[in-house]
Amino acid sequence: MSPNLLEKEAHAPKLAQSIYNALTTAASRYENHSNQFSSLFQMSSRFVSFPESITGFLSELSVNNCTLRFLSGAQCSSGRGLRFPRTRRGRTLMCSGSNSHSWNVPVLSSNEVVERLKLVGEGKQLLAMYSSVVGGITTDPAAMVLPLDDHMVHRGHGVFDTAMIINGHLYELDQHLDRILRSASMAKIPLPFDRETIRKILIQTVSVSGCRYGSLRYWLSAGPGDFSLSPSHCPKPSLYAIVYQKDFNVDRIGVKVVTSSVPIKPPEFATVKSVNYLPNALSQMEAEAKGAFAGIWVDNDGFIAEGPNMNVAFVVNGGRELVMPRFDNVLSGCTARRTITLAEQLVRKGMLKSVRVMDMTVEDGKNADEMMLLGSGVLVKPVIQWDEEVIADGKEGHITNALLDLLLEDMSSGPPSVEVISNCVLTHGSICFQSTL
User: Strand ranges (DSSP E) for 317-436?
Assistant: 321-324, 354-357, 370-375, 379-386, 389-390, 418-420, 425-427, 430-432, 435-436
Concerning whether 236 is annotated as a catalytic residue, the answer is no
**Bigger pLDDT: 285 vs 252:** 285
Contact 224, 350 (CB under 8 A): no
Separation between Cα atoms, residue 335 and residue 122, nearest integer Å: 32
344 pLDDT above the threshold of 50: yes
Q: Which tens digit of pLDDT belongs to each residue from 257-272?
A: 999 999 998 887 888 8
What pLDDT score was predicted for residue 25? 62
pLDDT band at 13 (very low <50, low <70, confident <90, very high): low
pLDDT band at 20 (very low <50, low <70, confident <90, very high): low
Q: How far does Cα 339 stand from its chain's mean position?
A: 27
- For residue 152, count other CB atoms closer than 10 A to its CB: 27
Separation between Cα atoms, residue 52 and residue 63, nearest integer Å: 25
What pLDDT score was predicted for residue 424? 41
pLDDT band at 163 (very low <50, low <70, confident <90, very high): very high
What pLDDT score was predicted for residue 40? 46
pLDDT average, residue stretch 102-113: 87
**Bigger pLDDT: 22 vs 381:** 381
pLDDT average, residue stretch 14-18: 61
Crossing angle between the packed helical segments 173-186 and 334-348, to the nearest 10 degrees: 130
- For residue 33, count other CB atoms closer than 10 A to its CB: 14
Contact 203, 181 (CB under 8 A): no
Q: Which tens digit of pLDDT belongs to each residue from 34-93?
A: 454 444 444 433 434 444 444 444 444 433 333 333 333 334 444 444 444 444 455 555
- For residue 89, count other CB atoms closer than 10 A to its CB: 12
Separation between Cα atoms, residue 136 and residue 188, nearest integer Å: 25
What pLDDT score was predicted for residue 250? 82
- Reported as type and span, the H/E element at residue 33 is none
131 pLDDT above the threshold of 80: yes
The pTM is what?
A: 0.73
pLDDT average, residue stretch 240-248: 91
Q: Which tens digit of pLDDT belongs to each residue from 380-400?
A: 999 999 999 999 999 999 999
Lowest mean pLDDT among 92-101, 138-147, 235-244: 92-101
Domains defined for the chain, CATH in brackets:
3-107 (no CATH), 123-245 (3.30.470.10), 255-396 (3.20.10.10)
pLDDT average, residue stretch 295-314: 95
- Reported as type and span, the H/E element at residue 19 is helix 13-28
Q: Which of 273, 349, 353, 395 is catalytic?
A: 273
